[in-house]
Amino acid sequence: MKSKYGVRGIPLELWEKITLTVSKNCEQAEFIARIEDLKKDSFVIESPLRQSGSIRLEKGDDVEVSFNRKDATYIFKANIADFFEDEGGSVELNVKSDVSRMQRRRFVRLDISGNIHFRVLESAKSPDGALSPRVPGSLLNISAGGILFETRFAPRENDILVVSLALKGDEKLENILSVAKRVEKLDENLHLVGAEFITEDNMADYGLEQLRSLLPAGTGTFDENLQKLVLQFIYKQQIERKKKGLTT
């Protein structure tokens, strides 16, 4: 019999939106999905939609699952038990830990400097595309595939962003092209934005080739050198966190 509410005491609900985060070899990827079925110790989700990173989800992977409530973000560990390709790509996950409650503003995976600025490419599909003024935000998380940040001025999903940020103690990344994949309203004055970096391989998909002349000088894709820089930064942060006893 299908459960209507909860798995092992975790207050999950049918068709609730969750986020899956998987880490392998100092790289991280994030996916979103909705819950299709709840069981005693496991749950089934629809085919996950990639938000950032290039890692593929595989059977046996350990993942971090998070979901939002008005008061906080909740997190628990799970393991990918099976894929159901004949059911539209659904995935079953086994619950592996109790749930932890975290205040939204403390939902930070890495020690990163707090400032970020971005501009929105107002019309990526037309030859007269223009950039919005610079918009400030607070960087929360970064992977080799994208960033998570808070801002008072939210872009729309699928907007093209020109992002500038600084990694704590390392070089700045200026005018990096990305696309807003996730935009959530946290309160009346704050939004959570997940943006995926644009690469040379998918730049044409966003109609950007013909707009190069309209972009700021030095604007570029998230190329291999910048990816290595971020991977090195993430690796250093993970080592520091282990030394401090914050991770195992």
Architecture of the domain made up of 5-106: Roll (2.30)
- Spatial separation of the C-alpha atoms in residues 183 and 205, rounded to whole Å: 21
Beta carbons within 10 angstroms of residue 57's beta carbon:
16
Which tens digit of pLDDT belongs to each residue from 66-116?
888 777 788 899 999 999 877 678 999 999 999 988 654 433 344 455 678
Is domain 115-242 given the CATH code 3.30.420 in the classification? no
Evaluate whether 196 touches 146 at the Cβ level (below 8 Å): yes
List the chain domain ranges.
Answer: 5-106, 115-242
pTM of the model: 0.51
Evaluate whether 161 touches 155 at the Cβ level (below 8 Å): yes
Evaluate whether 164 touches 219 at the Cβ level (below 8 Å): no
Which tens digit of pLDDT belongs to each residue from 169-227?
555 778 888 889 888 888 888 898 988 888 777 777 777 665 565 566 666 666 655 66
Give the per-residue pLDDT at 214.
58
